Structure 1
């Protein structure tokens, strides 16, 4: 019998789902010295310093958001406060997608990753400028703005923080520079031996398909041959040209073969997500591997502190308008509203992201000895209204919301001001 004397926290009576351990049922979770001490059907409460009744709640490995934008201030309006997106939203790990570059990574480490309560990793931008507001300054993202050698050196020297490379395959860049930037990003990822996370769907300055002879519907078939097993295709359900569903409304013919040879799919929900197109792709067998929320300052409204006037911006003509409030759990609810089960969705925010970044030995599971990163969710039943960025509305019979999380055994209640309120249908 496991000696649980000195248990700091006992989570009692919750529905524990840990895909990596094969657990799906009512279990207790004991935590000691910031680590998982035991996960058992029943653990006596005697000896626990604190017992938290989580009956009726879901208890998951600490959720991992595979698509965050948390390089606050440096990336303009894109960067949100890391802990607001992270632990204050019930998420214990956030992967920033392309905020820092080889030039700005030291600042990201010192001012974002190190002081945050949330566990923070980065997919390093292939571009020297990183994740600045490229829709305003697209020329910064030309081949001249990429230094392959410098980015490879930075990624290798910062393995603890950098878990992948971020690139963009979209009509704006292709109309300006062709495929060269994507070739360079793929070379960086190969040489650094890291996954490449590829944005699909319009981004840089919105040139129309057909500009300079480029067709958005050919981008996927030209980019996929550059990619290796474990690389990630992002925004499969984008409402913008260049995604998995072509302009004739058909799922692109190259997708099935790409998945069969080990490429992965990340939802990258955010401003790009379309229920209409997601239904088509899912019905064709495209089930995402991971579920990034893709929240940033353009698609997520952050209420100002009390007594502070609301910020107003003159230019709202950008491609990123989205949810007024959002969260990773709302993205999970979206996927279930599309017909996926809870058992389908939980791995997308736990074990699969840990695999994506090569850290299954420490996160993404409730295993004895792992850091006590735990997400506790409320599981509401009823009829709830969800909507996407095309204003398509769906009725969800199940809505997940964060209650609290533990990050290395420290409790954080879900109090982020960006968390959406449930809207009954």
Structure 2
């Protein structure tokens, strides 16, 4: 006898949906790719398929606010979108600054449209976009910014362009001062999109040195350019020019900026430091969103060879800038936040409702409300003693480790089988 009713029921998991105010053991029903019902008990006979998720967390589809998925075009930086996305339990990935106004059509055609993951972008303020800037820093001068062209591109493509990416780092300031950031802020204002600002050294200093620039003054000079809703990235960076000054203290302007409506995104990546986080969190630097910032220099990608036809030093495993960094993922970053003292109930919004707000998409993603597209992330919630390691090789012991089990993207199941996911390391 054919079963009518729901296509799928996720049974018995802890459903946490901050946007809907739900937190408890519930069943979740899906029909025609949309959330059909959430209730303490949904009859198994009402569904064509039932998946037992007892002991697991069931969340709105997780949103990674900081990805690098413009594969090949951005050199080694670009990872396969679905490897970072649905194969890692993440249903939406935001590429931070990979495409530019020049390369956005290719990003749409060859990355966003074929991906099973929902792929969005913060458009680079630079014409060259997210190329391997540490090799070619001179491409990122004020002459490499076309305000008019970037505003036109962003405005015409707001279905996938949800913000602008800029860089406030000591290497750029030592070369050109604050001019590039001023242009990025102008693009953001004129396109009416949030500006996501990278802090922390990135490209290195020019041969002439810092040219009188002080990394500790960058934050104070950039923040007045920003508006409520703009995003300060890498609060826990181990590199100069971040949220922490040379004295190891949080810049006083940070709290003022947060009070004024600026948001903080972890942007984990190669910047993340437990040492810095332990200084910043007690000072009130609580992240609003939690991007993983995975890319080909800080993530081992065994399935994907280095791009052919580029200079050997650009993809030499022994010489690339972030050799030997710790493996991580969005869920491992969540585990780090919890181990640093932020409750699970406060971490979940960082990857669901808060990024949906940041993207201006609260009516589409970040919620399990009935009728919404069935984007759902199911996580294992392991208890024990696990070693987490940052990129300064500092290790902490986590008593709770989140790992992706699978996700539903528009009701279609994808197992979390990405080879880039870190293995659990028992203490």
Q: TM-score, normalised by structure 2?
A: 0.95
What is the deviation of 1:315?
7.4
What is the deviation of 1:172?
0.3
What is residue 163 of structure 1 aligned with on the other side? 162
What is the deviation of 1:139?
0.5
What is residue 371 of structure 2 aligned with on the other side? 369
Following superposition of structure 1 onto structure 2, how do residues 183-222 of structure 1 map, counting pairs within 5 Å? 183-207=182-206, 211-222=210-221
What is residue 281 of structure 1 aligned with on the other side? 280
What is residue 378 of structure 1 aligned with on the other side? 380
What is the deviation of 1:324?
4.9
What is residue 24 of structure 1 aligned with on the other side? 23
8 Å Cα contact 2:124-2:165 kept in structure 1: yes
8 Å Cα contact 1:171-1:208 kept in structure 2: no
C-alpha distance in 2 between matches for 1:292 and 1:78: 16
8 Å Cα contact 1:200-1:233 kept in structure 2: yes
What is the deviation of 1:46?
1.8
Of residues 313-322 and 80-89 in structure 1, the stretch that sits farther from structure 2 once superposed is 313-322
C-alpha distance in 2 between matches for 1:286 and 1:208: 34
8 Å Cα contact 1:272-1:320 kept in structure 2: no
What is residue 303 of structure 2 aligned with on the other side? 304
Counterpart selection for 1:334 from 336, 344, 350: 336
The gaps in structure 1 that reach 5 residues or longer are: none
8 Å Cα contact 2:11-2:54 kept in structure 1: yes
- May I ask how many residue pairs the two structures share in their alignment? 418
Find the residue that maps to 2:159 and give its secondary structure: coil
What is residue 358 of structure 1 aligned with on the other side? 360
C-alpha distance in 1 between matches for 2:47 and 2:71: 39
Q: CA RMSD in A?
A: 1.7
What is residue 308 of structure 2 aligned with on the other side? none
8 Å Cα contact 2:326-2:389 kept in structure 1: no
Per-residue Cα deviation, 1:273-312 (whole angstroms, up to 9, x for no partner)? 0000001100111110000000000000011379xxxx99
What is the deviation of 1:43?
1.2
Find the residue that maps to 2:6 and give its secondary structure: coil
8 Å Cα contact 1:236-1:266 kept in structure 2: yes
What is the deviation of 1:410?
0.1
Q: TM-score, normalised by structure 1?
A: 0.96
What is residue 14 of structure 2 aligned with on the other side? 15
What is the deviation of 1:6?
2.0
C-alpha distance in 1 between matches for 2:358 and 2:319: 34
8 Å Cα contact 2:375-2:407 kept in structure 1: yes
What is residue 402 of structure 2 aligned with on the other side? 400
Find the residue that maps to 2:383 and give its secondary structure: strand
